[in-house]
Structure 1
């Protein structure tokens, strides 16, 4: 398949596999914090914030009162249930007002195969787009308002086949694009609040750690910068041009990710996102990626990123993140 055709069918992959993340900055310094227990971890949260009051289950009437400009019509159609994922919570987790940017790059296929855990390798493979090259999606999320208050997150993920299905390269991408159901394996997921870190590591088996993440949307550019947790210096950053032509036709996309839990068993989870304003581009000059010599920058260098296949800017979306389930129990239904 020609590269220009590949770009056309990977457009929606930009939201995929990273799962929701990039939220607003950490709690403002003038807001009081309180410490709560989450799965045995002492976690600081905004005193009187959504998580402090409701533990991931705020009544939508409260959201309506505190953020009257947020459209809750889609989220009203969803129902939460109490679940135990290492701590009591409610699934799905709601993300009410968010933005993101994603860039999909080709990457060294052999390296991507090395990074898939042995417990998943028989059923999950990186998608090969042409000989020796797979795909990596890099996404920055800004969660301005969610059940976990607000936070920023950056995801680096391998684009994969659906577990158990044959990986047919570009044809796999076409199938996922048509169904708007995408699959991936998350490699790295730094966040900038301890609440997001603990919930992600304990509850969702995700490779999260706490570090500084700046997210900028002012002016004609949008981008993020991840600090190295050891030095406090910028180690990894992505900047992109804002897109002028954005669709305002709401679109539902399901992003699935596989993982391995603490007992070594394969799991999967998924997020359904409602894209409210969104646009994409295949112009490689619209995106600038820089990597330093810190832990994350050095890791990214091992992926041997190549051509930028697709860039997507989503200044407004909502999402519902569902709790993980055993992969063996998956029957293809929701």
Structure 2
């Protein structure tokens, strides 16, 4: 496991959460799928008019689903499933090709719409520090022939099931996400640096599947009129990450 990724990073104590900032994620894996959705429906989810969805086609913006397993991190092991909307915040919208590349590589700006996790400690820290929209749910991973799958449920009702092709996952790279959240009605931005030690990209619609369940959140997702197939997906079985402390937009 590489260690130099974390070298040279100044950290501060967060005694109320029993950890340090920025947060270190020493060992994680994830699957990601990028779908299109109805821009008008997605725009209704965004809390600020300055948040402009990235469109792949007129009327069709991007929606990203990422399921993560944090096997070793400062907040103890937990799982997470991010539902994010790639946005341009108060800027001109990116060209389509650049937007798709950024969504796949996580070198993008995105509004974090939903962020269920599996532990109360992860929920409290995320909500209190940066206003992440976290709630505790069941997030279970499954290894299938040639695929990795994740099921999200709460109170016995399935929200969704995401699966992705695996592949050799030989590539390595460093990527960045600027995540936008709201805390007490104030927009914040946090930088997430990810070192993918192994990853595999897929640019065909058969590489990932998204099945919606019977939870009310699944009904909300249906209302977004998601595409039947993804425009891109990614499998990264081994990665590291650093989540920096949130900042006000004036300081971003």
- Shared fold (TM-score greater than 0.5)? yes
Say if 1:266 and 1:328, in contact at 8 Å, map to a contact too.
no
The normalised TM-score by structure 1 is 0.70
Correspondence for 1:310: 232
Q: How far, CA to CA, are the matches of 1:180 and 1:192 in structure 2?
A: 23
1:100-139 aligned at under 5 Å gives the runs 100-117=30-47, 120-122=48-50, 124-139=51-66
Correspondence for 1:79: 10
Say if 1:109 and 1:133, in contact at 8 Å, map to a contact too.
yes
Q: Specify the SS of the correspondent of 1:285.
A: coil
Q: How far, CA to CA, are the matches of 1:241 and 1:271 in structure 2?
A: 25
Say if 2:19 and 2:74, in contact at 8 Å, map to a contact too.
no
* Distance apart, 1:77 and its partner CA: 3.2
Say if 2:32 and 2:164, in contact at 8 Å, map to a contact too.
no
Of stretches 305-314 and 219-228 in structure 1, the one that deviates more from structure 2 is 219-228
* Distance apart, 1:97 and its partner CA: 0.7
Q: Of 210, 214, 219, which residue of structure 2 is paired with 1:298? A: 219
1:189-200 aligned at under 5 Å gives the runs 189-200=115-126
Say if 1:260 and 1:266, in contact at 8 Å, map to a contact too.
yes
Correspondence for 1:186: 112
* Distance apart, 1:281 and its partner CA: 0.6
Correspondence for 2:251: 329
User: Structure 1: which 4+ aligned runs deviate by more than 6 Å?
Assistant: none
Q: Specify the SS of the correspondent of 2:53.
A: coil
Q: How far, CA to CA, are the matches of 2:122 and 2:28 in structure 1?
A: 15
- The structure with the larger Rg is 1
Q: Specify the SS of the correspondent of 1:97.
A: strand
- CA 1:180–1:205 in structure 2 vs 1: closer, same or farther (change >3 Å)? closer
Unaligned residue ranges in structure 1 (runs of 5+): 1-69
* Distance apart, 1:168 and its partner CA: 3.7
Correspondence for 1:242: 166
Q: How far, CA to CA, are the matches of 1:175 and 1:293 in structure 2?
A: 32
1:1-334 aligned at under 5 Å gives the runs 70-82=1-13, 89-117=19-47, 120-122=48-50, 124-161=51-88, 163-170=89-96, 173=99, 176=102, 181-217=107-143, 219-229=145-155, 232-244=156-168, 246-248=169-171, 250-262=172-184, 264-306=185-227, 307-330=229-252
* Distance apart, 1:88 and its partner CA: 7.4
Q: Specify the SS of the correspondent of 2:161.
A: strand
- Would you tell me which structure has more helix in proportion to its own residues? 1
Of stretches 216-225 and 277-286 in structure 1, the one that deviates more from structure 2 is 216-225
- CA 1:175–1:290 in structure 2 vs 1: closer, same or farther (change >3 Å)? closer
- Would you tell me which structure has more strand in proportion to its own residues? 2
What is the Cα-based RMSD across aligned positions, in Å?
2.2
The normalised TM-score by structure 2 is 0.91
* Distance apart, 1:234 and its partner CA: 2.7
Say if 2:56 and 2:100, in contact at 8 Å, map to a contact too.
no
